[in-house]
């Protein structure tokens, strides 16, 4: 509950806006910094990599060989350069992740926020649709949808993954919007004659940004992992190069069993590293949504620069 009720509606809007922006940006902690740096490096590799490496599909008579001077990460079974493939695969997976993130965010925002704010029949309808989409089993639906189209491209896979993943986020956004709708400053804005879409955009949306950002990041992780799982089952965009399809070929080529770790480990490792970086970013977003998470963590305590004695006293006082 903000104590600014006493002031007029204009000041309410202004105050929320200014405080909103500063409030939304996270403070730079080591966790956030490392997350951003790692994610940034991976994205850079995916964007610039394909422009500098060689042809990922060029076969060579050398066959399966380990890291060497000419091939930094060795070659696949048909003599293709693993490092080049990795660069293109990074780009492919990032494209899928980004598309799914944006689409899922858009769908969940539309079905969650609009319905909840407008209320009435529209809310019931959207809520029903969201809940039905939520209970339809995702993976089997993805399997069936993706085997329907002949030439499976990464865009098709991204679309299919987006369609099956927005429902959860919509539900969360709906419940948050419902609670926000009843806040006093929204009532004040309505009373002062603001148009519905303006209220949604200016009052409600800024408060939802942290939640939506967290969902966006989650959706990216989900999309990349989902695409990897689909490709492993042989149902993904096996003609395109993504981390998932690289793992599919490595698995089919019995890479692990033949000891070709350079083919099997890097794609999975990149998924893990990128996902971990995104999780770290998500943590920081969590801390915005729930500031109590920020305090009292071990790393936070280190910054208090208390002495041993003082630290012990604090610990005893608040923890059994």
Partner 1 sequence: MHSSNRSQRPSAGFVFVTALVGAVLVLTGCTAGSSSSSSSGSSMTVFNGATGTVAENFNPFTPTALQPTFGVIYETLFYYNLTSSEAKPAPQIATDYKWNTDGTQMTVTTRAGVKWSDGTPFSAADVAYTINLINKVPALNTNGINATAQATGPDTVVLQFASTSFVQEANILGNQPIVPEHIWKNIADPTTNINKNPIGTGPYTLKSFDPQSYVLAKNTKYWSSGQPKIDTVRYIALSNADAASAALIAGKVDWMSSYFPGLKQLIGSHKNLAYVNTPANTTELQACTNVSLGCTGAQTDVAVRQAIFYAVDRTQLNNLAESGFGSVGSPTLLLPDRDKSWISDPKNVTSPAKADVAKSESILQAAGYTKGSDGIYEKNGQRVSVTVQVISGYSDYISAVSTMTSELKAAGIELKESQVSVNESSANVTNGNYELSIANFGASVSTNPYYMYWQNYDSSGTAPVGQPSKGDGARYVNPVVDAALKAAAATNDPAVQKQQYALIQTEIVRDMPYISLFVTPTLTEFNTTNVTNWPTNENTYAFPASWKNWDNGIVLRQLEPRK
Partner 2 sequence: MRFYVQKLMFYVVALWAALTLNFFIPRWLPGNPVDILIAKLSAKGAVTAATRHALELLLGANSQEPLWKQYLEYLGNLAHGDLGVSVTYFPQTVAQTIAQTLPWTVALIGIATVISFIVGVGLGQLAGWKRGSWLDNAIPVTTMLQAVPYFWLALILLYVFGSLLPWFPLNGGYDVYGATPGFNLDFIGSTIYYGTLPALTIVISSIGGWMLGMRNMMVSTLSEDYILTAEAKGLKPRRIMTAYAARNAMLPSLSGFAISLGFVVAGSIVTEAVFSYPGIGSALLEAVQNNDYALMQGIFLFITLSVLGANLLVDLLYAFIDPRTRSRS
Residues that bind partner 1 (CB under 8 A): 57-59, 61, 63-64, 77-80, 147, 150-152, 234-235, 238-239, 249, 251-254, 256-258, 316, 320
23 token code pair: 């409030």
Least distance to partner 1 from the beta carbon of 88, Å?
A: 14
290 binds, among partner 1, partner 2, none (CB under 5 to 8 A by kind): partner 2
CB 65 within 8 Å of CB 71: yes
122 lies in the site for partner 2, by CB under 8 A: no
Spell out the residues 6+ positions from residue 5 whose beta carbon is closer than 8 angstroms to its own.
12, 184, 185, 188
**Choosing among partner 2, partner 1, none, which partner's interface includes residue 216 (Cβ < 5 to 8 Å by kind)?**
none
Helix axes 82-109, 166-181, angle to 10 degrees: 40
Q: Which residues 223-242 are close enough to bind partner 2 by CB under 8 A?
A: 225, 228-229, 232-233, 235
- By the 8 A CB rule, do 26 and 288 touch? yes
- With CB under 5 to 8 Å by kind, the binding choice for 70 among partner 1, partner 2, none is none
Closest approach of Cβ 298 to partner 1, in Å?
A: 17
Residue 175 or residue 252: which is nearer to partner 1 going by CB? 252
- Phi–psi pair at 294, nearest 5 degrees: -75, -40
d(CA 98, CA 214): 14
One of 11, 68, 147, 252 touching partner 2 (CB under 8 A): 147
Provide the residue count of the chain.
320
Which residue, among 95, 82, 58, 93, has the nearest Cα to 243 in the 3D structure?
93
| Smallest distance from partner 2 to CB 309, Å | 16
> What is the C-alpha to C-alpha distance for residues 100 and 92, in angstroms, rounded to an integer?
12
Decide: is 140 part of the binding site for partner 2 (CB under 8 A). Answer: yes
**Torsions phi, psi for 81 (to 5 deg):** -75, 120
Within a 10 A sphere around the Cβ of 138, how many other Cβ atoms? 18
The reply to whether 43 sits near partner 2 by the rule CB under 8 A is no
Is residue 62 near partner 2 by the rule CB under 8 A? no
Distance of CA 182 to the CA centre of its chain: 29
CB 87 within 8 A of CB 56: yes
> Which C-beta is closer to partner 1: that of 20 or that of 67?
67
Selection from partner 1, partner 2, none that 165 binds (CB < 5 to 8 A by kind) is none
Residue whose CB is less far from partner 1, 8 or 234: 234
Contacts with partner 2, residue ranges (CB under 8 A)? 31, 128, 131-132, 134-141, 143-145, 147-148, 150, 221, 225, 228-229, 232-233, 235, 243-244, 247, 251, 256-257, 264, 267-268, 271-272, 274-276, 278-280, 283, 286, 290, 292-293, 296-301, 315, 318-320
């Amino acid at each position: 509950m903000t104590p600014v009720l006493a002031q007029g509606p204009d000041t309410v809007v202004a105050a929320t806006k200014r405080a909103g922006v500063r409030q939304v940006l996270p403070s730079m902690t080591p966790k956030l910094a490392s997350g951003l740096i790692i994610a940034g490096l991976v994205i850079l590799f995916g964007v610039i990599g394909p422009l500098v490496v060689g042809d990922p599909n060029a076969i060579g008579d050398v066959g399966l060989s380990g890291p060497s001077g000419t091939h930094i990460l060795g070659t696949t079974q048909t003599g293709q350069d693993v490092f080049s493939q990795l660069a293109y695969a990074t780009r492919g997976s990032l494209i899928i992740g980004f598309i799914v993130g944006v689409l899922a965010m858009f769908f969940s925002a539309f079905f969650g926020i609009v319905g909840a704010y407008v209320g009435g029949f529209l809310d019931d309808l959207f809520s029903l649709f969201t809940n039905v989409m939520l209970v339809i089993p995702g993976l089997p639906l993805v399997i069936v949808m993706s085997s329907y189209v002949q030439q499976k491209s990464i865009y098709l896979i991204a679309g299919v993954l987006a369609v099956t993943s927005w429902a959860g986020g919509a539900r969360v956004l709906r419940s948050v919007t419902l609670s926000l709708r009843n806040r006093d400053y929204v009532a004040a804005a309505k009373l002062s004659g603001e148009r519905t879409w303006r209220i949604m955009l200016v009052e409600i949306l800024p408060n939802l940004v942290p939640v939506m950002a967290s969902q966006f990041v989650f959706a990216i992780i989900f999309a990349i992992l989902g695409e990897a799982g689909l490709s492993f089952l042989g149902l993904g965009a096996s003609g395109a190069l993504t981390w998932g399809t690289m793992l599919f070929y490595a698995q089919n080529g019995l890479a692990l069993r033949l000891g070709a770790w350079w083919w099997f480990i890097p794609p999975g490792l990149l998924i893990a590293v990128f996902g971990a970086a995104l999780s770290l970013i998500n943590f920081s977003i969590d801390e915005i949504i729930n500031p109590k998470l920020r305090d009292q963590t071990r790393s936070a305590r280190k910054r208090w620069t208390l002495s041993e004695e003082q630290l012990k006293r604090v610990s005893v006082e608040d923890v059994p």
